Amino acid sequence: MNSADIRGQRWVVKIGSALITADNTGLNLELIQHWCAQFARLMDDGVELVLVSSGSIAEGMHRLGLRTRPRTIHELQAAAAVGQMGLVQTYESELKAHKIPTAQILLTHEDLSNRKRYLNARSTLSTLLSLSVLPVVNENDTVTTDEIKFGDNDNLAALVANLIAADRLVILTDQEGLFDRDPRSSKDAKLVELGTAGDPRLLAMAGPSGSSVGSGGMTTKLLAAERASRAGTETTIASGRTTDVLLRLKNGEMLGTHLQSNQPKLDARKQWLANQLQVRGELTVDSGASNKIAAGTSSLLAIGVIAVQGQFNRGELVSCVDANGREVARGLVNYNAQEITKLLGCHSKDIEQRLGYIDEPELINRDNMVSV
């Protein structure tokens, strides 16, 4: 593979908690300084950068004298509120030494699931990049709850990569990359240097998180790479402790695990639909409808739906699954759950007879639906 194939001019860099904290003694200032020096070099070379940084909860734990990660959402929110101060101050101070202005961006799932707020977030990030500002993004842990959390910052980084149409997502971790087996227990473990995002064989190789302060493991990184690939973004998973890792990646050196995208790039609206984490209900479709909507060639008609689960309103996001429960698509419905229950197996021409009115001839228009 030619080194130019993996070079991009708009990068999202994600740094995990296991790297950014120094064994429960606060932030690892030496590593942060090392990364910030690399950020400056990359930006001098014309790379637009967005940083997704973990560490607020871990830093808050240190400042509050907590030795183990809190379990309740309120304790986590409190730790995040305390730690966010130190995290942002550190990045601002280190990047200011390189004459790089910074901006703090705190996001929740609601910010990206609401179309208007999603577009506003994209516009803000794009404007900051045009002004040569380095945005530091984190989940707004102080207000999120379990029901609306992104789940981990790997996932958030992938969503940000989609949001700004990044060329490359770099996930810096405390591991060299993905191994074909657990290197902690197998001396014969081999680094997977190149793969395809979404390959189920790679997921089978991934193990659980080895960190007491982080929330994700290698599996979440592979899932993030798959999500990022929907925007045509390539992903590299590499050790943040490797000397000049970002600069060496920019120069085409193969470090860590590089995951290519083999998916056709979705347009902006389809990306937004595909990246919603919260679905409000589920429609089970027959084999004919499953094949058509998976191919992206057809709207979903009532005649192809055989079951409804969940309570949802018109305009909300639902998942379309086949008879085996496998998700084939998701989209915005034209009718609520009660109405669709009355329309199961119904021809479009009979909708008005069953409901007493008709809004749209299809349950989900193909323009408001994306295959997954």
pLDDT higher than threshold 60 for residue 151: no
pLDDT higher than threshold 90 for residue 99: yes
Question: Which sign, positive or negative, has the C-alpha torsion 341, 347, 353, 359?
Answer: positive
pLDDT higher than threshold 70 for residue 268: no
pLDDT higher than threshold 50 for residue 189: yes
111-121 mean pLDDT: 80
**Each residue's pLDDT tens digit, 207-265:** 654 443 444 488 889 989 988 888 889 999 999 999 999 999 999 999 999 999 877 66
**Each residue's pLDDT tens digit, 131-142:** 999 999 988 766
pLDDT higher than threshold 50 for residue 168: yes
Q: Average pLDDT, whole number, for the chain? A: 85
**Each residue's pLDDT tens digit, 309-319:** 999 998 888 99
Q: Are 150 and 113 in contact (CB under 8 A)?
A: no
Percentage of residues of the chain with pLDDT beyond 90: 44
Phi, psi of 78, rounded to the nearest 5 degrees: -65, -45
pLDDT band, residue 266 (cuts 50/70/90): low
Q: What is the pLDDT of residue 112?
A: 77
The Cβ-side half-sphere exposure at 193, using a 13 Å CA radius, reads: 5
Q: Which residue has the tokens 């707004």?
A: 140
Q: Are 14 and 215 in contact (CB under 8 A)?
A: no
pLDDT band, residue 6 (cuts 50/70/90): very low
Phi, psi of 318, rounded to the nearest 5 degrees: -130, 160
Q: Sketch out the chain's domains with CATH numbers.
A: 3-270 (3.40.1160.10), 279-371 (2.30.130.10)
pLDDT higher than threshold 90 for residue 47: yes
Q: What is the pLDDT of residue 249?
A: 94
Q: What is the pLDDT of residue 304?
A: 93
Task: Return the C-alpha torsion angle 71, 112, 133, 49, nearest 10.
Answer: 80
Q: Are 236 and 225 in contact (CB under 8 A)?
A: no
Q: What is the pLDDT of residue 148?
A: 38
**From the centroid of its chain, how far is CA 277?**
9
**Each residue's pLDDT tens digit, 66-97:** 888 888 888 888 888 898 888 999 999 999 99
**Each residue's pLDDT tens digit, 20-33:** 887 666 788 999 99
Q: Are 195 and 257 in contact (CB under 8 A)?
A: yes
**Each residue's pLDDT tens digit, 278-291:** 788 999 999 999 98
Q: What is the pLDDT of residue 143?
A: 62
Phi, psi of 3, rounded to the nearest 5 degrees: -60, -30
